[in-house]
Amino acid sequence: MEATASAVLAWPASHAWTAMRKRHAHLSDEALVALVARGDEDALAELYDRVGRIAYGLALRILRDERHAEDAVQEAFLQVWRSAATFRPERAKASTWVLTLVHRRAVDLVRREERRQADPLTDDSAAVAAAEQTDEAAWLRFERERVQSALKQLPDLQREALELSYYGGFSQSELAERLGVPLGTIKSRMFSGLARLRELLDESAQEGSWRPEFTS
């Protein structure tokens, strides 16, 4: 399991360039969550400044509607605020935890709203929009490209299962029905796909891809 650690992006020190004058800029994401647990609003603001953009991009990809995506991000950050004391740093990085909450919220909303008419596989407007961003940090662009290239190397059926569930919000049983395959097939396809993606990300991380060092 330890080997997979390299798949993850470390939040880069480059945040410091935009956050230098801020009181909490020197703290790790995990330290910020600890301060949030004590009711520190500035720590929450700093956490939002670090993770908010990815959170919004994820919610927008799932919900395909700016207003709904903003609602999902807002609700997730309120949940961060209320439940920061339950965060366990040994289980996940703070950024991972926040994005998990955002994802869960967005998926809940998309299921409730039945906003899934469009097929995530044929809709690449999100990717196109992302590619045109000129104001995003270089590390984010590189990291996105690295993950997208790993996704492309997955067998089609595995990639489809991951994309429809993670970006489309489809549950395993919904996918089984939609794709006309047994539930057990979907379960193992999802497991193999995620495990394979993890391997591919590990490999590309070890090839010396750009990976900033976090020094706090």
Residues 88-117 that bind another protein (CB under 8 A): 88-93, 95-96, 99-100, 102-104, 107
Binding residue (CB under 8 A) for another protein from 9, 63, 109, 154: 9
In contact, 104 and 169? CB cutoff 8 Å: no
Establish if 179 lies at the interface with another protein (CB under 8 A): no
74 contacts another protein (rule: CB under 8 A):
yes
Chain position carrying tokens 């919610």: 59
Among positions 147, 157, 179, 181, the unique one binding another protein when judged by CB under 8 A: 147
Q: How far is the CB of 117 from another protein (least distance, A)?
A: 19
68/174 Cα distance (integer angstroms): 22
Contact 208, 6 (CB under 8 A): no
Q: How far apart are CA 204 and CA 189, in angstroms?
A: 22
Angle at alpha carbon of residue 131, lines to 125 and 135, rounded to 5°: 125
Residue among 15 and 162 whose Cβ is closer to another protein: 162
How many residues touch another protein (CB under 8 A)?
A: 98
Nearer to another protein, 76 or 117 (CB): 76
Nearer to another protein, 88 or 112 (CB): 88
Site string for another protein, 33-72 (x = CB under 8 A): -xx-xxxxx--xx--xx--xxxxxxx-xx----x--xx--
Residues ≥6 apart with Cβ < 8 Å to 74 = none
Residue 129 within binding range of another protein, rule CB under 8 A: yes
**Sole residue written with tokens 């996704």:** 151
Strand segments (E) across 14-152: none
Evaluate whether 6 touches 206 at the Cβ level (below 8 Å). Answer: yes
Q: How far is the CB of 176 from another protein (least distance, A)?
A: 10
User: Is 182 an interacting residue with respect to another protein (CB under 8 A)?
Assistant: no
